Amino acid sequence: MKRFWTHAVAVPRPEGGHAVLLDGKPLRLPGGAPLATGFAALAEAIAAEWQAAGGAKDGEMTMEAVPLTRLLGTAQDRIAPDPSAMVIGLAKYAETDLLCYRAEDPVLAAMQAREWQPLLDWVAETHGAPLAVTAGLMPVAQPSASLDALRDAVATHATEELAALGLAVPSLGSLVLGLALSAGRLDAVTAHRLATLDEAWQEQRWGTDWEAEERRIRAAADLDLAERFLALVRS
């Protein structure tokens, strides 16, 4: 679409929180509600991406240029009305968490144990949620008390934080990695490396799978956005 504004600024709202104005008019979600957040740093970052989008008035832009806006819109429109749905959806990843499934190849399995087990130990200690580990792809049942504890851990996140987790956890295939990213135990680059440990090992042996590489690039971008979003709502 064409850029129709000259100036984008973040402002306090009289009713509380912060909004973004485009030439003095509120930036609105597709449903018509004004975009709003309780976090000043996030509002300022969103104003900055709208100020840069399209370059200048009448320039061409797409919504890809305003990723923070899209993520906050998800939080406001889809999560805030019923956060429990997002909590339940994210918590289900613990039932088949990537870190619990080890390779049958002893070399790769040893690498997975070295890289992944400290995070499983962390989630067991921090959240009281020990998870069972298995070799191969056959499902392993997880303790119901651990699943309940991890659901409670997800539920402690604010709406905007849930939006970030909703982007990160599916990209990682792991609730444990997502919680570690949220807690600051891992950065986005390390979380992505750990989530793609198997693929990297396979490619060292058999060469690059370009479709998989494209998926990894997209996942890395999503994780970078989630990490940045979390930093803004916590600054």
pLDDT tens digit string along 85-113?
Answer: 999 999 999 999 999 999 999 999 999 99
pLDDT tens digit string along 212-227?
Answer: 788 889 999 999 999 9
Same domain flag for 93 and 75 = no
Same domain flag for 173 and 223 = yes
Model confidence at 167: pLDDT above 80: yes
pLDDT tens digit string along 28-66?
Answer: 998 899 999 999 999 999 999 999 998 888 899 999 999
We report the CATH number of the domain holding residue 32 as: 3.30.2180
What's the total number of domains in the chain?
Answer: 2
Helices 40-52 and 67-74: crossing angle, nearest 10°? 130
User: Of 230, 231, 227, 226, nearest to 167 (Cα)?
Assistant: 226
CB 86 within 8 A of CB 166: yes
Same domain flag for 49 and 134 = no
Q: What does the radius of gyration of the chain's CA atoms come to, in whole angstroms?
A: 20
Domain that holds residue 103: 83-234
Model confidence at 209: pLDDT above 80: no
Which pTM was predicted? 0.94
Q: Give CA–CA dist 219/33, Å, rounded.
A: 30
Model confidence at 172: pLDDT above 90: yes
Q: Give CA–CA dist 116/1, Å, rounded.
A: 44
For residue 181, give both structure tokens.
Answer: 């990213």
